[in-house]
Amino acid sequence: MKRVFSGVQPTGNIHIGNYLGALKQFVDLQEDHECIYCIVDEHAITVPQDPKELRKHVLDVAALYMAIGIDPRKSIIFVQSSVSGHAELGWILCCNSYTGELTRMTQFKAKSGGQESVGTGLLTYPVLMAADILLYDTDVVPVGNDQKQHIELTRDIAIRVNNKYGETFVVPEGRFMKAGARVMALDDPTSKMSKSSPNNHSRISLLDEDSKIKKSIMRATTDSDGEIRFDPENKPGVSNLLSIYSAFSGTAIEDVEADFRGKGYGDFKKALVELTKEALAPIRQNFNEIRESEELIRVLDEGAEKADAIAQKTLKRVRDTFGLGYR
């Protein structure tokens, strides 16, 4: 069985972009893959976090993983900082990557915002992400489109080490959804839906109440031409809503277009509200039960133990490769 690894940052309310781009794949893949799903708290601290809030968000993401259908009997669920091998391998990979390739990352450029001096973690976090993936001899990494460049970097580092020191790392591949790989903000369909946008109506969080889902979709930016047609360049707002509809319903975009031909934006948005409500209601209900249960901590403890056992094997091989230690 091929091995899958991916993670989500515990940095706020997980939204339908995270879900349709990444999390939904996590659930599907666990049927015929060996899956390892991480809550990447060490990535979250690349920008300042309130420590109490961070711990709360870690447990929220763990509960959400289970609420969407990740089954701890099939998949490993754990918190990144419980396995110290991530930080160890991260350092080793830092010594095998170049500042030039890291400053070229579009996410670094966006998050550093042209400031002269920024936190070092902001620059090196793609290397930590490479460590997360390579630590588990990962074959497949299900992520949203925004992570494409980071997956390429991971592959480059793995190939570089293998070529220079001999076969050490499995070279992973990214896995991207056809619809949902890049869900755009509802208020500004030219930028991606994000946890950190100050406008709450720019996104739909997985735990949003029905009334909030309705408000956010009904006020989503569209255009004045009135035709429900997929054309991301000229009609980014409508195209984004079509992608979301397609991803939630499992219907091809052309079929969604055909179903709504001749109808107005109002009718289409109302249908999308119903579809989204239907998809998120069971997640919300499961979440509330799981978040309060004692099982959650047990799942994370067991997950950390299983993940660490795999990580230790890789680390032994990596230490041998680089001549670290003395036996």
Residues recognised as catalytic: 111, 192, 195
Is residue 195 near ligand AQP by the rule CB under 6 A?
yes
Q: Which of residues 279-308 bind ligand AQP (CB under 6 A)?
A: none
Is residue 84 near ligand AQP by the rule CB under 6 A?
no
Residue 291 token pair: 């978040």
Q: Which one of the spans 13-21, 48-56, 73-81, 279-287 is the region binding ligand AQP (CB under 6 A)?
A: 13-21
Q: Write down the least CB distance from residue 246 to ligand AQP, Å.
A: 13
Is residue 11 near ligand AQP by the rule CB under 6 A?
yes
Nearer to ligand AQP, 13 or 168 (CB): 13
DSSP character string of 135-195: TTT-SEEE--GGGHHHHHHHHHHHHHHHHHHSS-S---EEE--SSSTTPBPSS-TTSB--T
Q: Write down the least CB distance from residue 239 to ligand AQP, Å.
A: 14
- Starting at the edge strand found earlier in the chain, the sheet holding 3-8 runs 75-79, 34-39, 3-8, 140-142, 173-175
Is residue 196 near ligand AQP by the rule CB under 6 A?
yes
DSSP-assigned beta bridge partners for residue 174: 141
The set of residues, in sequence order, having a beta carbon less than 8 Å from that of 308 and lying 6+ positions away, is 82, 83, 85
Is residue 86 near ligand AQP by the rule CB under 6 A?
no
Nearer to ligand AQP, 59 or 302 (CB): 59
One-letter identity of residue 311:
A
- Rounded-to-integer distance, Cα 174 and Cα 156, Å: 13
Is residue 17 near ligand AQP by the rule CB under 6 A?
yes
User: Considering only residues 88, 101, 146, 156, which one is a binding residue for ligand AQP as defined by CB under 6 A?
Assistant: 146
User: Considering only residues 4, 5, 21, 85, which one is a binding residue for ligand AQP as defined by CB under 6 A?
Assistant: 21
User: Considering only residues 4, 8, 158, 217, which one is a binding residue for ligand AQP as defined by CB under 6 A?
Assistant: 8
Q: Which one of the spans 18-26, 213-221, 237-245, 304-312 is the region binding ligand AQP (CB under 6 A)?
A: 18-26
289 and 282 in contact (C-beta within 8 Å)? no
User: Considering only residues 147, 154, 205, 314, which one is a binding residue for ligand AQP as defined by CB under 6 A?
Assistant: 147
The set of residues, in sequence order, having a beta carbon less than 8 Å from that of 280 and lying 6+ positions away, is 16, 204, 206, 207, 208, 213
User: Considering only residues 123, 128, 193, 273, which one is a binding residue for ligand AQP as defined by CB under 6 A?
Assistant: 193
Is residue 168 near ligand AQP by the rule CB under 6 A?
no
Exposure of 66 in the CB half-sphere (CA atoms within 13 A): 26
138 and 4 in contact (C-beta within 8 Å)? yes
Q: Write down the least CB distance from residue 20 to ligand AQP, Å.
A: 6
User: Considering only residues 5, 9, 207, 213, which one is a binding residue for ligand AQP as defined by CB under 6 A?
Assistant: 9
User: Considering only residues 33, 57, 86, 192, which one is a binding residue for ligand AQP as defined by CB under 6 A?
Assistant: 192
Other Cβ atoms within 10 Å of 324 Cβ, number: 11
Q: Write down the least CB distance from residue 193 to ligand AQP, Å.
A: 4
Is residue 64 near ligand AQP by the rule CB under 6 A?
no
Q: At what angle do helices 85-94 and 295-322 cross, to 10 degrees?
A: 40
The set of residues, in sequence order, having a beta carbon less than 8 Å from that of 7 and lying 6+ positions away, is 37, 38, 39, 40, 43, 80, 132
- Rounded-to-integer distance, Cα 203 and Cα 184, Å: 9
Nearer to ligand AQP, 145 or 162 (CB): 145
Nearer to ligand AQP, 241 or 318 (CB): 241
Residues found near ligand AQP in the complex (CB under 6 A): 8-9, 11, 17-18, 21-22, 143-144, 146-147, 181-183, 192-196
